[in-house]
Amino acid sequence: MIIKSNNILSLIGDFLEYLLVERGCSQNTLSSYSSDLYQFTEQVGKTNVHELNSTDIDKFLKYLLDKGYLPATKARKLASVRSFVSYLHAEGFIQSDPTDLIPSPKRSKRLPTVLKFSDVKAILELPLNISSSAEAMRDAAMLQIAYASGLRVSEIIGLDVEDIDFTAESVRCLGKGSKERIVPVHKKALDSIDIYLSKGRKKFKDKGIKALFLNKRGDRLTRQGFWGIVKKYARIIGFENTMTPHTLRHSFATHLLEGGAPIRHVQELLGHASISTTQIYTHLAVEFVRDQYDSAHPRA
């Protein structure tokens, strides 16, 4: 198990990597977050996240007011701090969120990108259609499990070999806040993982680590490495501008709801603490039903 640092500056780096790889944020957005968060840490003068409290947030707000920032700029900087602190809370670094009591303007949620099933099928089959290498076996297994289980990128790269249960057809993962859950996995994904374990993984450099997915150096694959793999296949299939590392997770959730799965079950599979987080997929499912209605109804 990797022991993470409680140093604020180190965790800002982790947070920015999370925004890039798991949220697909642009470089401009990352630059804004980085500037805002380093400004925040400079003003509060603390290095350990355990020391953060609501007084620090108030102090930063007063600083922004004293500096005469425009309302839109103040709102953005506060939103950056709020997102960072929310990330720390979700990951278990802090026990409570000191920004909870600070009101913020409501913003409309952007609907995630979802692929049609035919497009999902095409990208899942792509690695082994273009290569028979160990890397292709690994890539196929990763993409398969991403869609078959809906795991987050951090959960996928955090898997160890022993987390795959072929008999129970499930995977054990460690989610946000270090909460463990067992997720059922489709047999096709398990078959893909079996091929990778029996033929591909042993061709990577052996450092004796337990990680399921390895890079060329024999180390655990990183978020950046996963993102690079996704971009590679997205570029080949023409989805470079629309696909992110979590597109398969979003597609998994939406396709389940389209197929009639109860939203509570989808919530549990995704590891969402609140059902309100899962409900964004119901909007996508409604759009799907409306499209089906328009194409099938005789008066449409």
For residue 58, what are the CA distances in angstroms to 37, 72, 99, 189? 15, 18, 9, 49
Instruction: Please state the three-class secondary structure of 204-243 as a single string.
Output: CCCCCCCECCECCCCCECCHHHHHHHHHHHHHHHCCCCCC
Task: Say whether 176 is catalytic.
Answer: yes
Task: Say whether 249 is catalytic.
Answer: yes
Catalytic residue among 176, 186, 231, 232: 176
Catalytic residue among 77, 138, 152, 250: 152
DSSP states along 122-138:
HHHHHHHHH--SHHHHH
Catalytic residue among 89, 223, 249, 255: 249
Task: Say whether 283 is catalytic.
Answer: no
Using CA atoms, how far apart are residues 180 and 171, in angstroms rounded to an integer? 10
Residue 79: exposed, middle, or buried by beta-carbon count in 10 A (0-12, 13-18, 19+)? middle
Catalytically active residues, by annotation: 152, 176, 246, 249, 272, 281
